[in-house]
Each structure stands twice: as structure tokens, then as C-alpha cells.
């Protein structure tokens, strides 16, 4: 969708890319700001579950540099890196029933123990940077904000105003939350996770896999450190680690698609390659056990897919990566009142 409409900046969907036909990038926002004019007041309509940090931070910086007054309206949700974008507003308005979420950064590391340690240090610095931004806008202490980030804090409109993350909550009803796999956040409100499931918004084959693994992939580092003498080295190390992980993932995908057992089972091979974390060996065994005839493939795929999901859940439990949802239902606030005001509770169109 267009990010600049009728003099407004419309930021709906995934930050930094397009998923489920929704999303926006820093480049698109910068082009829109140039068209709008730097001195003109700018309304920003925000509805996003989060996304990539580089785009989120770039958009935040661009809005902070805008010379005209920036008013951010959280139309439904501002979560993760999208909540950082909201902090750029000279005025932040939450629609009635809208929600905001802040949490700690995450990333993928591939390599040795030293590689993981470099990523750990980078994440700590990134989390501190994000906390300073939130604290500066809200008036809270940095340490208190960081604690809230580590706990993954969800706020209703009134709670966001009370905590200083927004200036006011208006009476206009919030829109439906933007497309996003909210199951990637283990403490997300039930309304959002149910909406993700109903709408088919998913980053992976199962909610367990998404919450345990894909959080890092869709956020690809949720926060970015402020520049200093060592940031270039850290950025390079993280970039190298990310490139190595990407190369390994691509190698695995190509290996599965190139298996002799994939012949006549191409759709199933693509499912294993792109929508599961199955190893090449496990995918080969599963493909060999599946019928190759076209008329039998659809039925076999559903059965093998169930096995793949069970395998993935078991793998995560065995590796200690299982999400809280896998071991017991976490305590969550009652969001029914907030979502009722937004018109989502019992809404057949949601």
C-alpha cells in the first residue's frame, strides 16, 4: 500500500519489508517526506506489529529531523520497532482500543561461542539504546524502561498515556491490527494471536516454532546501538554472522530441493525447504516415504506436514527453545475491554 496519501504518512504492516501485502521501508518514508515538504505539519498514521531495526531506527531519525510538527496516531497497534517510530512524534495519540508494546532486542547468531558472545554484547548495547529513546520520550528512568522491555510490556491506550509513551487517548475507535504473526511474541494478547491464526499471518509452520525461532528472523535485531568508537566493529561482526546464517539457510534449502527424492514431490519438497526447519536428512527420509503420484500427493502432504510440525515442536523442546506457551499458559492481562472498544471482540470480519 502507498505510504503517502492525502498529505498523511501511512505506516501500515511490517517495518522494512512487505509481508501479506502490507509493509513499508525507510526508503519509501524518506521519499514521502521529500514530497510532503520539510516545513509542513505531518500527520503519521501508524499500525504495525514491528519489523527490522535498521528501517525502524532510520524512520524514527527521519521523523525527528522533520521541521514541521509531527503528530503520530496509533490507529491500532505500535509494537516492537514500530513503537520506536511512534516515539518520534511531537504528539502521540492512541486511538480508543489501540495498544503499544516494547520489548528487548533479538537476533540470530551462527558460529562459535565467541561469535555468540559478540552478538550478546551487541544486543545489550542495542537494548540500552532503545531504552534511552523510550526514556527520553516518556520521562521514565532508563533502568525502569529496560526492565519493562525485558518483560515485553503491552499497554492499552490509557496505560501508554499514563506511562508517558503517548500524550492522549482519543475517542475514535481503533482499526483492526495490521498484518503480523503476533504468535512470534510469547506474551501477546489472545485477541492478536487468534487474529494471526484466523488470517493466516505466519512466519513459520507452527506457533511454537514462530515464537521460539522466527522472532529473531523477523526482527533481525530489533534495536541498533548509538554510534561510538566500537560500533563499526560490532556492526561488522553482526553483519558477518547474519550473512553466514543466511548462507547456511540457503544451502539447506537448495540441498532439499535438489534431492532425488524431491522428483515428483516438488510441492512437498518446497514445503519442507521453506516452511519448516527440517534437516536435509530428515527431509530426504520424509520425501522417500511419501508417494510420488500426483493424485496421492495432496493427502500424503497433509500427513507428512503434521509429522513435520510434531518434529519441529519436539526439536525445540529438546534444545530448550520451547516457548512459554509450550509448557503452560502465561499470565496475561485481560484485553477484552480494550479490544471491545476497538470493535474487534466478536467481530466476524476480524
Asked if 190 and 80 count as a contact pair (C-beta separation under 8 A), the reply is: no
Asked, for residue 190, whether it belongs to a domain, the answer is yes
For residues 169 and 307, state if they share a domain. Answer: no
For residues 181 and 281, state if they share a domain. Answer: no
CA–CA distance, 61 with 145 (Å, rounded to integer): 20
For residues 116 and 76, state if they share a domain. Answer: yes
For residues 288 and 189, state if they share a domain. Answer: no
For residues 204 and 299, state if they share a domain. Answer: no
Asked if 198 and 335 count as a contact pair (C-beta separation under 8 A), the reply is: no
Q: Give the C-alpha distances (Å, rounded to integers) separating 151 from 101, 120, 162, 188.
A: 10, 18, 18, 12
For residues 288 and 177, state if they share a domain. Answer: no
For residues 46 and 139, state if they share a domain. Answer: yes
Of 43, 46, 6, 52, nearest in space to 25 by CA: 52
For residues 309 and 217, state if they share a domain. Answer: no
Model pLDDT, residue 327: 40
For residues 186 and 49, state if they share a domain. Answer: yes
**How confident is the prediction along the chain (350 residues), in pLDDT tens digits per residue?**
789 999 999 999 999 988 888 899 999 999 999 999 999 999 999 999 998 888 898 999 999 999 999 999 999 999 999 999 999 999 999 999 999 999 988 877 778 888 888 888 888 888 899 999 999 999 999 999 999 999 999 999 999 999 999 999 998 888 889 888 888 887 888 989 899 888 888 875 433 333 333 333 334 444 433 444 444 555 555 556 555 666 676 677 778 888 888 888 877 877 777 667 778 888 888 888 887 644 454 554 565 566 666 655 555 555 444 444 444 444 445 555 555 555 544 444 43
Range of the domain at 87: 4-230
For residues 142 and 287, state if they share a domain. Answer: no
For residues 221 and 111, state if they share a domain. Answer: yes
CA–CA distance, 191 with 98 (Å, rounded to integer): 12
- φ/ψ of residue 47, rounded to 5: -155, 90
The runs of H, that is alpha helices, within the chain are 26-36, 53-65, 81-86, 113-138, 142-150, 157-163, 190-199, 207-209, 215-219, 231-257, 266-275, 280-289, 294-318, 324-327, 336-341
CA–CA distance, 30 with 24 (Å, rounded to integer): 11
Asked, for residue 145, whether it belongs to a domain, the answer is yes
Asked, for residue 347, whether it belongs to a domain, the answer is no
CATH no. for residue 180? 3.90.226.10
For residues 271 and 184, state if they share a domain. Answer: no
Domain count along the chain: 2
Model pLDDT, residue 35: 94
Asked, for residue 171, whether it belongs to a domain, the answer is yes
Asked, for residue 249, whether it belongs to a domain, the answer is no
Query: Cell 526439536 maps to which residue?
Result: 315
CA–CA distance, 116 with 43 (Å, rounded to integer): 41
Amino acid at each position: 500500500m502507498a505510504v503517502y496519501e492525502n498529505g498523511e504518512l501511512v505506516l501500515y504492516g511490517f517495518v522494512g519489508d512487505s509481508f501479506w501485502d502490507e509493509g513499508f521501508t525507510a526508503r519509501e518514508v524518506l521519499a514521502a517526506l521529500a514530497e510532503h515538504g520539510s516545513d509542513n505539519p505531518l500527520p503519521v498514521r501508524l499500525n504495525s506489529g514491528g519489523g527490522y531495526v535498521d528501517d525502524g531506527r532510520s524512520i524514527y531519525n527521519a521523523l525527528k529531523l522533520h521541521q514541521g510538527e509531527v503528530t503520530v496516531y496509533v490507529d491500532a497497534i505500535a509494537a516492537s520497532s514500530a513503537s520506536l517510530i511512534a516515539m518520534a512524534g511531537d504528539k502521540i495519540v492512541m486511538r480508543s482500543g489501540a495498544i503499544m508494546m516494547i520489548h528487548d532486542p533479538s537476533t540470530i547468531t551462527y558460529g562459535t561461542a565467541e561469535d555468540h558472545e559478540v552478538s550478546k554484547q551487541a544486543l545489550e548495547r542495542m537494548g540500552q539504546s532503545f531504552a534511552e529513546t523510550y526514556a527520553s520520550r516518556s520521562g521514565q528512568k532508563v533502568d525502569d524502561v529496560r526492565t519493562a522491555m525485558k518483560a515485553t510490556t503491552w499497554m492499552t491506550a490509557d496505560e501508554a498515556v499514563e506511562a508517558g509513551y503517548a500524550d492522549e487517548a482519543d475517542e475514535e475507535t481503533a482499526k483492526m491490527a495490521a498484518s503480523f504473526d503476533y504468535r512470534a511474541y510469547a506474551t501477546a494478547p489472545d485477541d492478536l494471536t487468534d487474529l494471526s491464526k484466523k488470517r493466516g499471518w505466519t512466519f513459520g509452520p507452527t506457533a511454537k516454532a514462530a515464537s521460539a525461532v522466527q522472532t529473531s528472523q523477523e526482527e533481525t535485531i530489533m534495536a541498533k546501538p548509538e554510534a561510538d568508537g566500537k560500533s563499526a566493529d560490532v556492526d561488522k561482526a553482526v553483519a558477518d554472522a547474519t550473512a553466514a546464517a543466511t548462507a547456511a539457510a540457503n544451502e539447506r534449502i537448495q540441498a532439499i530441493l535438489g534431492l532425488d527424492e524431491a522428483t515428483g514431490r516438488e510441492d512437498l519438497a518446497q514445503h519442507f525447504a521453506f516452511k519448516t526447519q527440517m534437516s536435509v536428512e530428515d527431509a530426504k527420509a520424509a520425501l522417500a516415504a511419501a508417494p510420488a503420484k500426483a493424485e496421492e500427493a495432496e493427502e500424503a502432504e497433509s500427513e507428512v506436514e503434521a509429522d513435520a510440525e510434531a518434529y519441529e515442536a519436539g526439536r525445540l523442546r529438546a534444545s530448550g527453545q520451547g516457548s512459554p506457551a509450550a509448557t503452560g499458559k502465561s499470565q496475561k492481562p485481560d484485553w477484552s475491554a480494550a479490544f471491545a472498544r476497538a470493535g474487534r471482540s466478536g467481530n466476524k470480519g476480524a
